[in-house]
């Protein structure tokens, strides 16, 4: 099969005057993980909602396993699982009942429901709480139950909309382990996230979107390479010093400013050399930095470079 | 945590037709489990009607008695009104329940599953029908305790309950539209209340329509709540039943015919 598991081609969606998604295209090959990365309000959730048949695109096409989401929504629904940023479980049902509910609504036999539920409860470390109402679960447990519910009918394609938002580091690590196991098992995953670390850890390929449009695409490594391999980061005491340093340091590499921090991007391997140059230049002007360090760029730098703002720089919510 | 080894294939790669009934039953099961897990809600649902029974029977009853036909007992006049106002206010739970499902993301989950598009709403309204049945039984018991008597026969009572429950079911569809149009349960409650108040208080529920101002009387006499109450009255007190029963059925059918398609359309498009 040559058709990728997920295809988004020129998707557009507006809500009234708000253009949530202006032009989004990407593909996810079977068995791979795509990280859809962007800040709040970038259009990630809307893109996922179009691919999962919840919202009709205004223009463009979306296919899952070769099936058009507009023309044959029910067939798409049979082969996808969706877990969202809100743990969509029924609080008054037990963990086991929540899984049975999805099993029945996907028309599995009673035996299949029992077998799948047992397996998932065990896999997601929920067996001990299987017969408690999910209202009593911790945030991490609910999120795991939500993900388990998305997997009852063994969908080959999984959509995860900010799966770890709001979880503590332990809960996030647990969930990463579970997602990795699914991917190892051959599931195709589209994952949206605001966390660069998450995309870096889980995704084979990353699509960066901002204000409803794709602004970059590639593997984590490719995205980092695109921007010069090394960053020299120098902090200053006040704005005046920062501005003066910004002008000086432009001689060494491309500079960006973030508050009282100046970042100088230089080609890979030239970090120490650039550091030395920076020290000479600053010393000659009697500019005393508060911090100085050389580091390999994170995806955060990529994002800053591409969008002009960091990922924490949230505009409107995306929680429609 | 264990690892799956083989690439998954969907267990349910079937064509999804003819699941409308099964899916609706599944959804009703889920909603009834919710009621069973919160039995206090059923009890609270009966507190207000019980207060009304006691208050109207013992506080206002004497004053209203004078405007009733001679020989008509007020409690027998009152009870059908209380039943209907109970299920009308109960229709709020349909709106609140759906709005809660929506705000908690459950509707998104259901809409992403290969289930019948009608099942969430049919299951919800069916579960609310069962709930209304139990609430009516409780209110009925209180009525008997304070001296309510059925002046016709047991079939009159069964007929009255049948019409009241069918009316309750039709209102669930009206309030499903409200539930799918607001952002959460609290808003659903706030939006529904004025609609309910107009339906219940400008009706023949507690006082005869003849005592109301003349501009209000045409509405109060023919609006669905009054018509259903009047049907329940003739069925439990006596008198010619045909007109009120037919009018009630027409109202019930009309409300479902108009509201159900709108509610399902809203459900499909809700974001």
Q: In this predicted model, what pLDDT tens digit does every residue of B147-199 receive, in sequence order?
A: 999 999 999 999 999 999 999 999 999 999 999 999 888 898 888 888 888 88
- Mean pLDDT throughout A308-320? 48
Contacts of A128 in chain B (CB under 8 A): none
- The total domain count for chain B is 1
The pLDDT of residue A148 is: 94
- If phi > 0 it is left, if psi is from -120 to 50 it is alpha, else beta; for residue A66 that is left
Q: Per the domain annotation, does B222 fall within a domain?
A: yes
Q: For residue A246, how far is the Cα from the chain centroid?
A: 32
The pLDDT of residue B65 is: 84
The pLDDT of residue B4 is: 42
Cα–Cα distance for residue pair B250/B30, rounded to 1 Å: 31
Checking if the pLDDT of A108 tops 60, the result is yes
Taking a contact as any Cβ pair under 8 Å apart, which residues of chain A between 264 and 293 contact chain B? none
Distances (CA, A) of B118 to A45, A150, B18, B19, B125: 25, 21, 12, 10, 11
Cα–Cα distance for residue pair A175/A135, rounded to 1 Å: 20
CB contact under 8 A, B1 and A177: yes
The pLDDT of residue B3 is: 42
Domain made up of A225-307: CATH architecture: 2-Layer Sandwich (3.30)
A33-37 vs A205-210, strand pairing mode: parallel
Checking if the pLDDT of A198 tops 80, the result is yes
Helix (H, G, I), strand (E, B) or coil at A248: helix
Q: Per the domain annotation, does B164 fall within a domain?
A: yes
Residue ranges of chain A assigned to CATH 3.30.70.980: 225-307
The pLDDT of residue A309 is: 65
Q: Encoding tokens for residue B61?
A: 């009853």
Residue ranges of chain A assigned to CATH 3.40.50.300: 6-218
Out of A35-49, A180-194, A219-233, least confident range: A219-233
Which one of B8, B23, B34 has the shortest CB-CB distance to A105?
A: B23
- Mean pLDDT throughout A70-80? 92
- Mean pLDDT throughout A234-240? 91
Q: Per the domain annotation, does B185 fall within a domain?
A: yes
Residue of chain A whose Cα is closest to the Cα of B24: A105
The pLDDT of residue B34 is: 92
Q: Show the DSSP H helices in B146-241 as ranges.
A: 154-181, 185-201, 217-222, 224-237
CB contact under 8 A, A82 and B108: yes
Interface residue of A91, A104, A120 to substitute, partner B, most B CBs within 10 Å: A104
Q: Domain range spanning residue B238?
A: 20-269
Out of A139-148, A157-166, A226-235, least confident range: A226-235
Is domain A6-218 given the CATH code 3.40.50.300 in the classification? yes
Global pTM reads 0.81
Residue with tokens 């009853």: B61
Out of A32-36, A90-94, B7-11, B261-265, least confident range: B7-11
What tens digit of pLDDT does each residue of B31-52 get?
999 988 988 878 877 888 889 8
Q: Per the domain annotation, does B200 fall within a domain?
A: yes
Checking if the pLDDT of A312 tops 60, the result is no
The pLDDT of residue A171 is: 83
- Mean pLDDT throughout A70-97? 90
Contacts of A77 in chain B (CB under 8 A): 112-114
The pLDDT of residue A318 is: 41
The pLDDT of residue B121 is: 94
The pLDDT of residue A194 is: 86
Helices (H) and strands (E) in chain B, counts: 12, 0
Show the low-confidence residues of chain B (pLDDT under 70): 1-17, 271
The pLDDT of residue A227 is: 59
The pLDDT of residue A140 is: 85
Checking if the pLDDT of A94 tops 60, the result is yes
The pLDDT of residue B5 is: 40
């Amino acid at each position: 099969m040559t058709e990728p598991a997920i295809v988004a081609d020129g998707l557009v969606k507006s809500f009234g005057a708000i253009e949530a998604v202006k032009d989004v295209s990407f593909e996810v090959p079977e068995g791979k993980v795509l990280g859809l990365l962007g800040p709040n309000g970038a259009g990630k959730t809307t893109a996922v909602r179009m691919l999962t048949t919840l919202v009709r695109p205004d223009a463009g096409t979306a296919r899952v396993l070769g099936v058009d989401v507009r023309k044959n929504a029910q067939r798409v629904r049979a082969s996808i699982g969706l877990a969202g940023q809100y743990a969509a479980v029924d609080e008054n049902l037990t963990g086991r009942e929540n899984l049975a509910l999805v099993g029945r609504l996907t028309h599995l036999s009673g035996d299949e429901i029992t077998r799948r539920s047992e397996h998932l409860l065990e896999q997601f470390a929920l067996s001990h709480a299987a017969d408690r109402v999910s209202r009593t679960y911790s945030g991490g447990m609910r999120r795991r139950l939500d993900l388990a519910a998305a997997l009852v009918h063994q969908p080959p394609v999984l959509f995860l909309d900010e799966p770890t938002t709001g979880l503590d580091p332990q809960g996030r690590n647990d969930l990463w382990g579970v997602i990795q196991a699914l991917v190892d098992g051959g599931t195709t995953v589209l994952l949206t996230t605001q966390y660069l670390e998450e995309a870096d850890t889980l995704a084979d390929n990353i699509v960066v979107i901002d204000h409803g449009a794709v602004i970059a695409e590639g593997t984590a490594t490719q995205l980092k390479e695109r921007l010069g391999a090394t960053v020299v980061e120098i902090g200053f005491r006040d704005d005046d010093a920062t501005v003066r340093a910004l002008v000086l340091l432009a001689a060494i590499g491309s500079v960006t400013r973030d508050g009282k921090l100046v970042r100088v991007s230089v080609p890979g391997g030239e970090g120490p050399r650039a550091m030395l140059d920076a020290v000479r230049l600053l010393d000659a002007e009697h500019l005393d930095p508060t911090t100085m360090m050389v580091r390999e760029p994170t995806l955060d730098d990529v994002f800053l470079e591409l969008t002009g703002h960091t990922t924490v720089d949230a505009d409107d919510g995306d929680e429609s | 945590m264990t690892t799956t080894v083989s690439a998954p294939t969907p267990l349910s790669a079937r064509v999804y037709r003819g699941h409308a009934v099964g899916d609706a039953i599944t959804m009703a099961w889920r909603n009834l489990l919710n009621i069973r897990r919160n039995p206090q809600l059923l009890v609270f649902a009966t507190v207000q009607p019980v207060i009304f029974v006691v208050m109207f029977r013992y506080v206002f009853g004497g004053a209203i008695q004078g405007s009733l036909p001679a020989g008509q007992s007020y409690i027998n006049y009152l009870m059908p009104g209380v039943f209907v106002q109970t299920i009308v206010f109960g229709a709020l739970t349909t709106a609140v329940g759906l709005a809660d499902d929506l705000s908690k993301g459950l509707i998104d989950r259901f809409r992403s599953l290969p289930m019948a598009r009608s099942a969430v709403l049919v299951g919800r309204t069916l579960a609310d029908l069962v709930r209304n049945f139990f609430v009516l039984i409780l209110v009925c018991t209180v009525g008997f305790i304070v001296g309510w008597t059925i002046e016709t026969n047991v079939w009159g009572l069964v007929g009255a309950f049948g019409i009241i429950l069918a009316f309750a079911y039709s209102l669930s569809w009206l309030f499903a539209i409200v539930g799918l149009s607001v952002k959460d349960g609290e808003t659903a409650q706030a939006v529904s209340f004025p609609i309910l108040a107009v339906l219940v208080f400008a009706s023949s529920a507690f006082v005869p329509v003849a005592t109301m101002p003349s501009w209000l009387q045409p509405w109060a006499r023919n609006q669905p709540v009054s018509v259903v109450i009047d049907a329940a009255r003739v069925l439990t007190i006596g008198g010619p039943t045909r007109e009120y029963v037919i009018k009630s059925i027409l109202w019930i059918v009309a409300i479902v015919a108009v509201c159900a398609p709108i509610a399902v359309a809203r459900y499909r498009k809700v974001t």
